[in-house]
Structure 1
Amino acid sequence: MLTYTLIVSLSASYSQSRYDEQVDVAYSIRDDRPVLRLVRPFMRFAQVESSSSIVLLLATCIALYLANSRFAPLYQDILRLPLKAGVGGTAFIWPVELWINDVLMAVFFLMVGLEVKREILIGELASFRRAILPGFAALGGMVVPAGIYLALNHSTSTAQGWGVPVATDIAFSLAVLGAFGKRIPLALRVFVASLAIADDIGGVFVIAVAYTRELHLAWIAAGAGIFMICLLLNRLGVADLPAYLILGALLWGCLQQSGVHPTLAGVLLASTIPSRSFLPADHFVEGGQVRLREFKRARDVAGHSRGARESLQGLAHYLRLVESPLDRLQAKLQPWVSYGILPLFALANAGISFHIFQPTLLKQPAFTGVALGLLLGKPIGIMLFSSLAVRLHIADLSHSMTWKQLHAVSWIAGIGFTVSIFIAGLAFGDGPEYMQSRMAILFASICAAMIGAILLRFAPSAVSPQCEAHSIDSALA
């Protein structure tokens, strides 16, 4: 664990290594620090598009092995090991599994919130015409799976698990697409990414509405006050991230005491992080050139002088102002989330013992509801709502992607995994239904990935506008 943490830490610290290498080539500078020689192999791996998904898959396989080997008792004991942390007289003593699921996953949802905000403001969801199709698809991919689950679990104690099959795992979904390389049009990748982001928004809404415990209004009011302070900092133009992160930690504490799931603090905090630059680009260039000239003069006169240090500090200040706090925080969190938090979540939650698998499991309503919701509900819902949006002329299908390709990725969207397992934990706690749901999520995700990949392999790579009307009918037939 210590070695893994060290690797993630070094990778996060040198996440700009590709840019640094480009600068080194441009200025004929070679950086031979031993730590860089150690980290660069990991960074080359991290630059591969599907690398984070490979790490997540590896963590899942390790968890499955541990849960089904002679190390299973040790594995469970580690997850239940109590850890204490706190400030002053306030201390939390929780098992390792709870620290991962309630604390570290709040950071994951902070990353999700930053990505959603960026996409809504300047990304693929900023345009109504571009956002409406994946938005409709995501809505269908949530409503239909939830409906299938409720149809199989109505009037039972497992009905509260309806939110489990509504989620799409963006990391694994994009990894399946990445395996096809350039055969996949950019429009299809954008569609899947936008669908998954819209799905994340819906998942956060489901967690907030359906899986909130008994509410304590005093703590909710305290959390609302902290949230308003964060919004005020945004309006005042405060660009220092530590101020937001400290308030975010306090917001997490308030939600944890209020009955609202504390991971939502990450989403709320993300909505307050400024997304604008506080220094125009031309002013940065002019001011940066002045600071660089001052630095050169100071170094020529006195070497490591106070003037040279002040010039560097001024340049660093310009860098902080020209890059939006949202982009800065997202860049810092990305390696930690992709190569640290999500693999740890998989290690803690994907450890399913196959000894519980019996033919009778297939008749359990929680298992069948989750499995059919993900495996059938996702493609049916996505295709149904997408076709309605196009037929009603609410949205348009890009000419560079076909309906058969969209049909293929609608199956790939049935890969639930991370958020589905998370919601299952909220819905069922440690009960037997939680194990059944995790088994169903694993089964459905594997089947969805295989079916989607096969369909995508044989789907046509392009469609002409003349064939578009015919292709939708053949795909839905």
Structure 2
Amino acid sequence: MTLFFLLIILEIKKEMVSGHLSSMRQIALPLIGALGGMAVPALTYLLVTYKHAEAVHGWAIPVATDAAFTLPVIMALGTRVSAGARAWLMALAIFDDVLGIVVIALFYGSALYWPALAGVLCVTTAMIAANRLGCRSLWVYSACCLLLWGMLLSSGLHPTLAGVITGLCLPAQPRATDTEQITPLEKVSSALTPFVTWLVLPLFGFMNVGVSLAGVHMGTLLAPVPLGIMLGLVVGKPVGVFGATILSFQLRIAPAPAATSVKMLFGLSLLCGIGFTISLFIAGLAFKDVDTMVSAKLGIFAGSVIAALAGWCWLRCLPVTQRSQYSANLAAMSGK
């Protein structure tokens, strides 16, 4: 999973350098949406499970949107989702995943071991210095990433942070003297994409989706853990994302995505409830009891499927001809 999060960070860094997130106002909109989409699902889960001490530990399960599973849905919708809205949703999902890793590191790690943390700081400083000094050797950054992984594992923080730190430190722009204009960031991204897509994510899913449906009935899904997760994904996610986004427009903090209506944003907010990979990851850290873990997986699967179907149906039924009318209203609302 360290490689998965490394690839995610590389994608968002490319957008920040020369894409849809190249200005602070463009970055602010998906970031605000991601924060709202984390807070409300967590509160929703806690409202359902607050009387059950063991269940409360899984509060972070519904907070992250799965970028890997959201992208195929919006790609299948074609022109019904504008390019600006697609970039907004993917940036939001990526911010969600990164913030999810921070949550894992802070709340689901073991006791901190300070000498190892000091080593993490030293290696991170070395990578930042290598970037500033113009080092383009992937061997240097690879060796530092391996060192970080081992030190983070010993420190009590989750070792997947090694991918986040390495991705942030990789050079994203070529030097003026470089004859080859392909940056280390682009090389690593190009090499990792097929590996993560066709091996890492399927392997992770294969190792984590094993859930027996024997004896499963509606009452099973109404238990505190699966119900809290489902409501967090299906209700908390769209309410948090959509509410925070509209608030940012009203306060004129960030502009609306191009050619995007309020109704389209709501449909995309429904899709944010697809929380597969990171949700499974957090569930494995939150619960050690097998029965509780199975219940959590059932809630994740049910909530993600409902969110995917609800978002797809909403956007599929949204008339494309109304887009320009609503886009004008949304742009005026955001001061664009």
In 1, the alpha carbon distance for the partners of 2:234 and 2:183 equals 40
Is 1:460 aligned to 2:319, yes or no?
yes
Q: Which moved more, 1:238-247 or 1:126-135?
A: 126-135
**Pairing of 1:387-402 with structure 2 (within 5 A):** 387-398=246-257, 400-402=259-261
Deviation, structure 1 residue 405: 0.9
1:107 match:
3
Letter in 1 for 2:10: L
1:205 match:
102
Deviation, structure 1 residue 446: 0.8
C-alpha change, 1:430 and 1:333, in structure 2 (3 Å) is: farther
Deviation, structure 1 residue 152: 1.4
1:179 match:
76
Letter in 2 for 1:361: T
Gaps of 5+ in 2: none
**Pairing of 1:83-122 with structure 2 (within 5 A):** 105-122=1-18
1:221 match:
118
Is 1:262 aligned to 2:155, yes or no?
no
**Pairing of 1:429-468 with structure 2 (within 5 A):** 429=288, 431-461=290-320, 462-464=323-325, 468=329
Greater length-normalized contact order (CA 8 Å, ≥ 6 residues apart)? 2
Q: C-alpha offsets along residues 35-57 of structure 1, whole Å, 9 cap, x if unaligned?
A: xxxxxxxxxxxxxxxxxxxxxxx
Deviation, structure 1 residue 106: 1.0
1:126 match:
22
CA RMSD of aligned residues (A): 2.1
Say which of 75, 86, 91 aligns to 1:189: 86
Any conservation in 2 of the 1:116–1:201 contact (CA below 8 Å)? no
Is 1:420 aligned to 2:317, yes or no?
no
Deviation, structure 1 residue 279: 3.7
SS in 1 for 2:162: helix
1:353 match:
212
Deviation, structure 1 residue 467: 6.3
1:334 match:
193
Any conservation in 1 of the 2:261–2:327 contact (CA below 8 Å)? no
Letter in 2 for 1:248: C
Q: C-alpha offsets along residues 391-447 of structure 1, whole Å, 9 cap, x if unaligned?
A: 222223245111111111111111000111111111113532221111111111111
Letter in 1 for 2:74: L
Any conservation in 2 of the 1:405–1:460 contact (CA below 8 Å)? no
Gaps of 5+ in 1: 1-104, 285-317, 473-477
**Pairing of 1:228-247 with structure 2 (within 5 A):** 228-247=125-144
Q: Structure 1 segments of 4 or more deviating over 3 A?
A: none
Letter in 2 for 1:120: M
Say which of 223, 233, 237 aligns to 1:378: 237
In 1, the alpha carbon distance for the partners of 2:153 and 2:215 equals 33
Any conservation in 1 of the 2:127–2:144 contact (CA below 8 Å)? yes
2:168 match:
271
Deviation, structure 1 residue 454: 0.8
Any conservation in 2 of the 1:417–1:445 contact (CA below 8 Å)? yes
Letter in 2 for 1:326: L
Q: Which moved more, 1:133-142 or 1:144-153?
A: 133-142
Q: What is the TM-score with the length of structure 2 in the denominator?
A: 0.92
In 1, the alpha carbon distance for the partners of 2:327 and 2:142 equals 53
Letter in 2 for 1:182: T
C-alpha change, 1:232 and 1:467, in structure 2 (3 Å) is: closer
C-alpha change, 1:129 and 1:143, in structure 2 (3 Å) is: same
In 1, the alpha carbon distance for the partners of 2:155 and 2:327 equals 57
Any conservation in 2 of the 1:414–1:444 contact (CA below 8 Å)? yes
Letter in 1 for 2:234: L
Is 1:403 aligned to 2:299, yes or no?
no
SS in 2 for 1:464: helix
Letter in 2 for 1:447: I
Any conservation in 2 of the 1:375–1:445 contact (CA below 8 Å)? yes
Any conservation in 1 of the 2:33–2:244 contact (CA below 8 Å)? yes
Deviation, structure 1 residue 356: 5.0
Deviation, structure 1 residue 139: 1.4
Q: C-alpha offsets along residues 236-257 of structure 1, whole Å, 9 cap, x if unaligned?
A: 2111101111121111111111
Any conservation in 1 of the 2:271–2:308 contact (CA below 8 Å)? yes
Say which of 142, 145, 148 aligns to 1:251: 148
**Pairing of 1:138-157 with structure 2 (within 5 A):** 138-155=34-51, 156-157=53-54
Any conservation in 2 of the 1:408–1:456 contact (CA below 8 Å)? yes
C-alpha change, 1:356 and 1:123, in structure 2 (3 Å) is: farther
